[in-house]
């Protein structure tokens, strides 16, 4: 006797790490900071490449500010524990995990006071874990794009 059962598949759950980043499969992309394999991660439905070893994140420039907003909400209650900027990272040269070209370092001039690394070819930003945290904790919305904005206060 057939007794059809309406089976509901179990919900797909990815393990969520301490940063609130659900991490899925490992990719073949290499972490620019520690040379581990990056994993596909998702932060609030935005796909990122996440390093499970060092906590760095590769995110597209378009997703960067929404990501910061989200992490600010996640981390906001944990209290800022921001170390002073380490100027040593101003001289680093990371290799873009996507195109293998050298990434450009930019000072991120907000109160978070970090150097971020971008690949303009791929439109991605690499953020070390502590950089992400510092930017997320920064109390304003100082824009990465302000220096590219011809009307944004840069005068020649």
Q: Which is nearer to Zn ion, 31 or 125 (CB)?
A: 31
| Min separation Cβ 139 and Zn ion, Å | 28
33-41, 105-113, 127-135, 142-150 -> range binding Zn ion (CB under 5 A): 33-41
Assess contact for 112 and 135: CB atoms under 8 A: yes
> Where are any strands of DSSP class E within the chain?
23-30, 37-43, 46-50, 57-60, 104-108, 114-119, 124-127
| Min separation Cβ 71 and Zn ion, Å | 17
Q: Looking at 96, 116, 127, 136, which residue binds Zn ion (CB under 5 A)? A: 96
125 C-beta neighbours (distance < 10 Å), count: 24
Q: Looking at 14, 46, 53, 106, which residue binds Zn ion (CB under 5 A)? A: 53
17-25, 67-75, 89-97, 135-143 -> range binding Zn ion (CB under 5 A): 89-97
Verify binding: residue 54, Zn ion, rule CB under 5 A.
yes
| Min separation Cβ 25 and Zn ion, Å | 16
Closest CA to 96 of 116, 119, 115: 119
Closest CA to 68 of 23, 31, 99, 110: 110
φ and ψ at residue 60, rounded to 5 degrees: -70, 150
- Residues 112-131 as x/- pattern, contact with Zn ion by CB under 5 A: -------x-xx---------
Residues that contact Zn ion, how many (by CB under 5 A): 14
Name the residues that contact Zn ion, by CB under 5 A: 31, 33-34, 36, 51, 53-54, 56, 96, 98-99, 119, 121-122
């Amino acid at each position: 006797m057939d007794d059809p059962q309406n089976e509901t598949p179990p919900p797909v759950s990815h393990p969520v790490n301490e940063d609130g980043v659900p991490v899925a499969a490992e990719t073949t992309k290499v972490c620019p900071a520690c040379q581990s394999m990056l994993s596909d991660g998702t932060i609030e439905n935005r796909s990122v490449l996440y390093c499970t070893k060092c906590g760095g994140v590769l995110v597209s420039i378009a997703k960067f500010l929404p990501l910061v907003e989200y992490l600010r909400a996640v981390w906001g209650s944990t209290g800022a524990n921001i170390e002073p900027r380490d100027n040593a990272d101003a001289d680093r040269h990371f290799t873009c995990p996507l195109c293998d070209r050298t990434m450009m370092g930019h000072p991120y001039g907000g109160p978070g006071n970090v150097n971020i690394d971008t690949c303009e070819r791929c439109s991605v930003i690499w953020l070390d874990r502590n950089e992400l945290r510092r930017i997320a904790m920064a109390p304003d919305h100082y824009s990465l794009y302000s220096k590219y904005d011809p009307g944004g206060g840069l005068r020649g």
